[in-house]
Chain A
Amino acid sequence: MLKMNNISKVYQTEMVQTHALRDFNLNVEEGEFIAVTGPSGSGKTTFLNIAGMLEPFSSGEYLLDGIDVGKLNDNQRADLRNQKIGFIFQGFNLIPDLNLYENVEVPLRYRGIKAAERKRRIEQCLEQVGLASRAKHLPQQLSGGQQQRVAIARALAGEPRFLLADEPTGNLDSLMARQVMELLEQINRDGATIVMVTHDAELARRAPRNIQVVDGQLADFTLYQGKPNVAVGA
């Protein structure tokens, strides 16, 4: 599903060269639910951005569903993001001037899906997250947990095979965080591959596979086995 080989990311300024990721290798199989943890500044967000094609990498190879991302132009990357990836952001990133229905509709419009099909999908996804009755509400009329559920509905609407979640419960209290996590687990059981960046160890333990990013490199653990199963750079 996702394969990164020797990915490096270097941020270059006039004075300093910062290696955000170095020789990063990762293989994610279809249907996996992976939690990515690591200290601040370790490179988690850079990994997420590269995995989601939100920023280019400096060297290496990245295959998403067999497609060599490094060879795509900006438009092709945008189209691939739209078709294959659903994003869930820490700050929800809902558009404040659009109601819930219109927010969920955004990625579908970019894909050029017809209005009737859009309507079907939006209603289905809002139903799935339990907010169908509030489709006409604006984001600011909802609680944080509800907003994150709308963001999940938006991520699901495009029927992506791959969900990237950036601290999806970071702005939520523990009850809401648990609800969101249960929703993600359900989505994973329904077949979606999920990579979730989090610094919440308890949340990470609920994921079948954990990886840790330290100084731009990867340590891979499978927590339920109680020990690392892949060495750094695996």
Chain B
Amino acid sequence: MLEIKPIINALLRSKVGAVLLLIQIAITTAIVSNAAFIINDRINYLNQPTGYEEENIFKFNVMTFGTGVDLIQQIELDEDRIRQLPGVVDAVQISAIPLSGGGSSTSFRLKPVPEKSKSVNASYFETDEHGLNTLGVNLIAGRNFTQEEVVINRDFTKYPNVALATKALMDELYPDGDGLGKTIYTGDKPLTIVGIIGMMKGPWMKLEERKDKSVIIPMLDPSKLHQFLVRTESGRRAEVMTQIEDLMHESYDKRVIQDLTGLDKKKADYVAEDLLMMRMLVILISVLVLVTALGIFGLTLFNINKRTKQIGTRRALGARKSAIIKYFVVENSLICIAGLVLGVCGAVFLGQQLMAHYSVPALSYWYVAVTAVAVFAMSLLAVIGPAKRAANIAPSIATRTI
């Protein structure tokens, strides 16, 4: 016997506390389902595969202030010396660092400018034939470019005619999957794709349209500030990193080594804001759920204190303890269900607003459903203690004058 009708009637006659709780449950459901969805979206973003052994790769910048040094010769010398270090797999000078948030991108086309053609935006890295091995990414078709194909350039008079491209880019340019060996264009400059790379994130992880689309161009175009990327054997990165500064200064000391950092650290810095936002959302959810649980707990306790005599009377009239517990659980469940109905509508509305104004992906209704079930379970847990307390009110309270 659930007494639903008299409970509803009683709630309708004295509704302030119930309405406040209902609103609290609705707000919690609306916010928690959207926040949980955003958190999961962030977790997927933070954990997306990059294609790199991030813990074995590091980078550093070289700022040369000395004059009279041939930068290209010096870079080749530096690369050789780094590669000689015990524990180093490969090292290379490169124009951009993956996962760092900073790099270059351009449009790659099927036909040269000014012809009309399909065009896809992608990031690009300029490096030599050691780039592929240093990055450690997987070549799934074709070949790497050779040393002879690398263009060493200071004034853009020469431009390479081959390149490597990621599968994501080639699939978009050539949906039939026959891009290997084809020529694509950047502006009016042709590049024949000699190799296709599997997973390889560019410098940006969050720009959906180009995060997986990259091109590696065989070119060295060093300036006084240039950067190296080094891949080490597993577990030997820290040991190698400690030797870099001395090694670089031994061969030429009129330069400064800056930002000697692991790739995982670069990535962590890049995603720090997202991580912070995610943590804030987790705290927000926890506080909201806690406040709602306390609200239910408090309201039920308040109701019990207000209705002590009534509970005693019910017990005197034949209510078992279980009937008293059931009464409060049903009363709370009715409030909770009404709050959840309102909260689910609120969650969908909030999701649509977030999508419209803040580019948040469309809210999955699974999150709303799971949140609603979780809030309902939480409300049951919150009410059961006070309800048991109510059930322990002695029936003899009915005959006392209080």
Contacts and interface: CB of A to CB of B under 8 A. Distances in A.
B14 interface: yes
Interface in B1-28: 1, 3, 6, 9-10, 13-14
A39 B317 CA distance: 27
Interface in B346-395: 394-395
A166 B315 CA distance: 16
Contacts of B309: 91, 93
A54 B314 CA distance: 11
Contact of A87 (B10, B316, B321, B400): B316
A43 interface: no
Interface stretch (A28-36, A109-117, A126-134, A221-229): A109-117
B3 A109 contact: yes
B159 to A, nearest CB: 84
Given A48-B399, A91-B401, A109-B3, A54 B316 contact: yes
B323 interface: yes
B398 interface: yes
A107 interface: yes
Given A98-B6, A99-B9, A102-B9, A93 B398 contact: yes
Contact of A54 (B14, B321, B396): B396
Interface in A60-88: 74-75, 78-79, 81-83, 87
A45 B395 CA distance: 13
Given A54-B396, A91-B401, A166-B399, A110 B319 contact: yes
A54 B13 contact: no
Contacts of B14: 97
Contacts of A90: 399, 401
A21 B188 CA distance: 109
Contacts of B396: 49, 54-55
Contact of A110 (B9, B318, B401): B318
Given A74-B321, A79-B320, A93 B9 contact: no
A65 B213 CA distance: 89
Given A87-B398, A102-B6, A154 B317 contact: yes
Interface residues of B, number: 27
A96 B314 CA distance: 13
A91 B323 CA distance: 23
A49 B399 contact: yes
A87 B398 CA distance: 10
Interface residues of A, number: 36
A72 B399 CA distance: 21
B211 to A, nearest CB: 60
A138 interface: yes
A38 interface: no
A162 interface: no
Nearest to A44: B399
A54 B394 contact: yes
Contacts of A158: 318
B313 interface: yes
A87 B317 contact: yes
Contact of A97 (B10, B320, B394, B400): B10
Which of B1, B314, B316, B398 is most buried by chain A, counting CB atoms within 10 A of its CB? B316
B310 interface: yes
Nearest to B313: A93
A26 interface: no
Nearest to A55: B396
A211 to B, nearest CB: 18
Contacts of B395: 53-55, 78, 81
A154 B399 CA distance: 16
A95 B313 CA distance: 9
A89 interface: yes
B320 A75 contact: yes
A118 B13 CA distance: 23
A177 interface: no
Which of A74, A83, A158 is most buried by chain B, counting CB atoms within 10 A of its CB? A74
Contacts of B3: 109
B320 A74 contact: yes
A82 B394 contact: no
A111 B398 contact: no
A52 B318 contact: no
Interface in B238-262: none
Contacts of A75: 320-322
Nearest to A75: B320
Contacts of A107: 317-318
A50 to B, nearest CB: 9
A220 interface: no
A102 B8 CA distance: 12
Interface of A: 45, 48-49, 52-55, 74-75, 78-79, 81-83, 87, 89-91, 93, 95-99, 102, 105-107, 109-112, 138, 154, 158, 166
Interchain residue pairs A-B with the least CB separation, the first 3: A82-B318, A97-B10, A54-B396
25 contacts: A49-B396, A52-B316, A53-B395, A54-B398, A55-B394, A55-B396, A74-B320, A74-B321, A78-B318, A78-B321, A78-B395, A79-B318, A81-B317, A81-B318, A89-B313, A89-B398, A89-B399, A91-B309, A91-B401, A93-B310, A107-B318, A109-B1, A110-B1, A112-B1, A166-B399
Given A54-B396, A81-B317, A111-B318, 10 more contacts: A52-B316, A78-B315, A87-B317, A87-B398, A93-B316, A93-B398, A95-B310, A98-B9, A102-B6, A110-B323
